Structures are given as structure tokens and as C-alpha cells.
Chains A and B, each alone.
Chain A
Amino acid sequence: MSIASYVLGIVAALLVLAVVVELLRRGRLRERHAVWWMLAGLLALVAAVFPATLAWAARLLGVQVPTNLVFFASTAILFFVALQSSSELTEIEKRVRTLAEQSALQELRIRELEDGKKQPPS
């Protein structure tokens, strides 16, 4: 491995961590969503600084080419992040639906009260 690619790996991992931390700091990312990205960044940093750990982990898991372990781990993390996002999107859609229904009913109630059709509960 050349010095350049060694440095590139470290810089890329640090960049990921820096962006995640900055987003967290500014409140643009909630902790629960940041966990996976932090994990990815930290793993990348360890593998970049000590390439031997990657080779060791690959041997341990019986993966012949260490790079393939990197691809496998990245895909797995991306998969879980996407799945978690879909699941939270579903939850948010559910809440938006409930709010929309409630807003429709409240608008109707305001109209009825304004028209004097109904007495407010005393």
C-alpha cells in the first residue's frame, strides 16, 4: 500500500466522522440516527490507521480478500440505515395522517362553533 492510499483512507474516515459530529452538534441529526454513521466512521478509521486489523478480521471470518470484508460491512451498514429510515418514515406518515385528520375535524368544529350551531362544552 502506498503512502497516498494510506493517507486517503484515514482522511476519508475522519471526514465522515467530522461531518456526523458537526451535524449532531448543530442539531441537524438526531443521536439515534447518527449511531450507524458513527459506527461506520469509526470502523473505517480503525481499518485505515491499522490495516492489519482488517486483514486479521478477514482471516478470522474466513474472508479471503480483506477488501471484500470492507464491501460486505459497508453494504450491511447502508442496508440497515436505509431500512431504519423507511421504518421511521412509516411512523412519520402515520403521525402526519393522524394530524391531518385531527386538523380537518378541528376546522369543522371551529366552523360549527362560529356558525353558532353548537354550544361549546360548559
Chain B
Amino acid sequence: MPPPSLRRTLVVMPAFNEAASVADVIREVREKVPSAQVLVVDDGSRDDTAERARAAGAIVARLPFNLGVGGAMRTGFRYARNNGFDAVVQVDADGQHDPSEVTQLVAGLADADLVLGARFAGVGDYRSSGPRRWAMIVLSRALSRLTGTRLTDTTSGFRASGPRAISLFAEHYPAEYLGDTIETLVIASRSGLRIEQIPVQMRVRAGGTPSHRPVKAAIYLGRAVLALLFALTRPRSSYLWEEPR
């Protein structure tokens, strides 16, 4: 199967109070992947994220209040489904995802429904430490087994979704904490989607604050494992969806 064309690729950028960096990231995406469309989902920001994104040439959908990454992403998947896009690439508005890798992620959709950009797969110098690292290792092992693919970075938000993944995620994309990364992999795998990972570089955030503070790392491990367990024990009927024609 040929990969989706970049002209039918939607770059979805969830943004919550990212006025400082959003315009630069959009400009960079438009420069690196000129044929792709950029949709910024403003997740109830109180700053002028939406105005700046619109001025930078993005399509902007504004959520009336903050829903979290999951809510913003499902909005993006619904927009993609309703407007006939073949690929959705999630790019964070804080600039930590390198837009020049979007093309590679989309190319990976040739033989997968969901392609993860992994930070620890040999490229770049991204490192994490302590409980957060252990959590990532535990999650990687468990999810690799489940999906039947070697996954090293399951909490990466830098991913590309093909037509089948778009259909599935337009219906089921958890808004829960960690649901947008871990549970989506479980949903995808249990719904028969093929998942692949390709190595990518991560950069330092251009603006905003990281969503995980080191102090909270231990709690993160617990919540991550719980999220995984609940995702695995959910009844199959919770994930009804329609395969695209």
C-alpha cells in the first residue's frame, strides 16, 4: 500500500496556553511540509494561542474549555474524518517535535496504521531518569508484548495515524490522564491496527512548561500502570467503530 500523500495529511497540534511558541512551530511545519494542512486545536487557552495560530496560517478549532490532550486530539481526528484526510500527524505546540520528521512518519504509514516517533531508538540525545524512566521501561515491555512490535517509547505523542486509525480514534480517544498515549495503543492493538515505531529526535521545548514535573514521577508510574490495567480489562464492546471504505 502506498503511504498517504502529504497533501491529504493533517498535522494536528493540541495547544493549551502555548502563545509563546505556537506560531513558530506552525511556521516551521509549513516550511518543512508545505503541502500538509495544519489544524491547531486550542484546548481552552486563556492566552491568545488561537489568534496567533490563525495569523500563522493554521486552521484553528477552539474548545470552549480545557479537555486535555485526548479531547483536543479526538477533535482533530473528527475534523480529519469529516474532511477526508488520509493521515493525521500529532505535533506538539511546544516545539519538542521536529516537523522535518513528519514526512518520515507519514511514509511509515505505507505498512502500518499507526506510526510512533520514538525518542530512545538511537537518534538524538533525549534521556529521562528515575521512576519516570522505570515507568517507561515497564510500559514499553508490556505494550510491545501486546502489540507484537518492539516499542521503546510508548508515551511519545509524536505519531502518525492512517485512515483506519483516524476512523477508530475519531470515535475512541480517551480524555483520561495518560489515556491519550497508553490507552490509545491498547485500543489500536485490540482493534487490529498495525503499529510500528520509527526513531526520531526530540528537541528542547521552545516554550511553555513540561507537563510532568520530576517530583510527580513516582505517582506517574502508578497511574501509568493503572491506566494500562484498566485499558486491558475494558470490555471489547467499548471499542465499536466503523472501518473506512
Contacts and interface: CB of A to CB of B under 8 A. Distances in A.
A108 to B, nearest CB: 5
A103 interface: yes
Interface string A87-118: 00000000001001101110110001000000
Given A97-B67, A97-B175, A105 B75 contact: yes
A108 B175 contact: no
B75 A107 contact: no
Contacts of B230: none
A67 B79 CA distance: 60
Contacts of A104: 41, 61-64, 75
Contacts of B64: 100, 103-104
A108 B63 CA distance: 10
Contacts of B79: 105, 108
B61 A100 contact: no
Main secondary structure of the interface of A (DSSP, over half): helix
Interface string B56-88: 000111111101000100110011001000000
Nearest to B170: A101
A120 B212 CA distance: 43
Contacts of A108: 59-62, 79
Nearest to B173: A101
A33 to B, nearest CB: 25
Contacts of A107: 61-62
B82 A105 contact: yes
A111 to B, nearest CB: 9
**Residue of A97, A100, A104, A112 with most chain B CB atoms under a 10 A cut-off:** A104
Nearest to B42: A104
A107 B78 CA distance: 14
A101 B62 contact: no
Interface string B201-238: 00000000000000000000000000000000000000
B74 A100 contact: no
Nearest to A102: B78
Contacts of A103: 64
A117 to B, nearest CB: 9
Contacts of A97: 67, 71, 175
Nearest to B71: A97
Contacts of A105: 61, 75, 78-79, 82
A107 to B, nearest CB: 6
B82 A100 contact: no
Interface of B: 41, 59-65, 67, 71, 74-75, 78-79, 82, 175
Closest 5 CB pairs of A and B: A104-B61, A101-B75, A108-B61, A104-B63, A100-B64
Given A97-B175, A105-B78, A108-B59, 4 more contacts: A101-B63, A101-B71, A104-B61, A104-B75
